[in-house]
Amino acid sequence: MMVLETSASNEITDKVKQSNKNIPVKEEQQNISKKVIFNVPFTKRSRSKIHGKDSVMFVSHPVITVWNPTGTNKSITALNLAVTAAGRGLDAALIELDLSCPLLDRWFEIPQTAVADCGNGVQGAGIMTLGENLMPGHIPKLFCKSWGVRYLAAGNKLGNIGTPDLTLENLEQIIRAVYQRDVKGKPAITVIDAGASYEWPATFAALKQATVLLVPVDGSPQEVELVKQQLTELSRVGVKPKSVEVLWDTPGMKRVKQLCESRIIVPADTPGYIKAAADNKPYCLSAAGAEVWRNVLEGLL
């Protein structure tokens, strides 16, 4: 059983549009050459020159970072959330910033492409493929699209061990470039799959830029205690986005005490997710998963 009530699919888009009303626009958002202020969702349309054009229109929207220090259900949560949002009419972007374990690249069938083999310099590439040479202007060409989602891949470094030396500033520029994409006036959402360790620059950038921190948990006491400790550490260094936990509910499991500001409960349908993976079709597109993930999305907007 879900803890959130269902609604017709078009109500989600209506709810997003309704949230625009009577919300003041921060002055900082009027100059997108400065750091984008993410904490006012769906309030302003503006022109952007970040991709080398002055005609790009972006809409202020939520940036939802999915993170768990143990990696529990992290990538699968990000995938199903983004695909559901796209299916509900939002312009959905999904960024793979778990550079050490880019599971989503397998879902989107990203090829093992060396930068020298990329058509037009970037096609088939990802963040790690270009490394420190990745510029904001590359982002539109880097997007691949499946299930209605714009996906920015982690990519790879063929013939090399490790991840490229991307600075925190580099990574934040990547997030901002995705955020400032041309959504053609549509309500939008950006979802980031973050790595496990917040000490990694890519993970810290994803956490720092989030408006909502979505934490999937399986409910074990040890996992919950670890998440609680690390949320405290993040707060100590000024990273304090709104936190929401997604509890994967196993039948007969004793539910632990809520650790985030709010909680969404989803059934842990392990056979269903395994079948979805075997079919390379997100669980949210199945009959059983559609309602589950529609309710998760609605609970976040």
Q: What is the pLDDT along the chain (301 residues), one digit of tens a residue?
A: 333 333 344 454 455 445 444 333 333 333 333 333 333 233 344 554 444 444 557 789 999 999 999 998 999 999 999 999 999 999 999 999 999 899 999 999 988 776 666 655 555 678 888 887 888 888 888 899 999 999 999 988 766 666 667 889 989 999 999 999 999 888 999 999 999 999 899 999 999 999 999 999 998 889 999 999 999 999 999 999 999 999 999 888 888 889 999 999 999 999 999 999 999 999 999 999 999 999 999 999 8
Half-sphere exposure of 255 (CA within 13 A, CB side): 15
| pLDDT in the model for residue 121 | 52
Q: How far is 245 from 217, CA to CA, in rounded Å? A: 7
Question: What pLDDT shows up at residue 215?
Answer: 97
Q: Give the per-residue pLDDT at 100.
A: 87
Q: Say what the pLDDT of residue 161 is.
A: 63
Q: Provide the pLDDT for residue 233.
A: 94
Quick one: pLDDT at residue 1? 36
How far is it, in rounded angstroms, from Cα 81 to Cα 277? 15
Instruction: Establish how many alpha carbons lie within 13 A of residue 250's alpha carbon, considering only the half-sphere containing its beta carbon.
Output: 9
Nearest to 183 by CA among 51, 36, 66: 51
The pLDDT value given to residue 270: 93
pLDDT, residue 160, reads 60
**Contact between residue 250 and residue 268 where contact means Cβ atoms under 8 Å apart:** yes
Q: Spell out the domains of the chain, with CATH numbers in brackets.
A: 43-300 (3.40.50.300)
Q: pLDDT value at position 22?
A: 37
- SS3 of the chain: the string is CCCCCCCCHHHHHHHHHHCCCCCCCCHHHHCCCCCCCCCCCCCCEEEECCCCCCCEEEECCCEEEECCCCCCCHHHHHHHHHHHHHHCCCEEEEEEECCCCCHHHHHCCCCCCCHHHCECCCECCCHHHHHHHCCHHHHHHHCEEECCEEEECCCCCCCCCCCCCCCHHHHHHHHHHHHCCCCCCCCEEEEEEECCCCCCHHHHHHHHCCCEEEEEECCCHHHHHHHHHHHHHHHHCCCCCEEEEEEEECCCCCCCCCCCCEEEEEECCHHHHHHHHHCCCCHHHCHHHHHHHHHHHHHHC
pTM above 0.85, yes or no: no
Q: Which two tokens stand for residue 30?
A: 């009027």
pLDDT at 122: 59
How far are the Cα atoms of 96, 118, 175, 246 from residue 178, in angstroms, in the given order?
12, 20, 5, 25
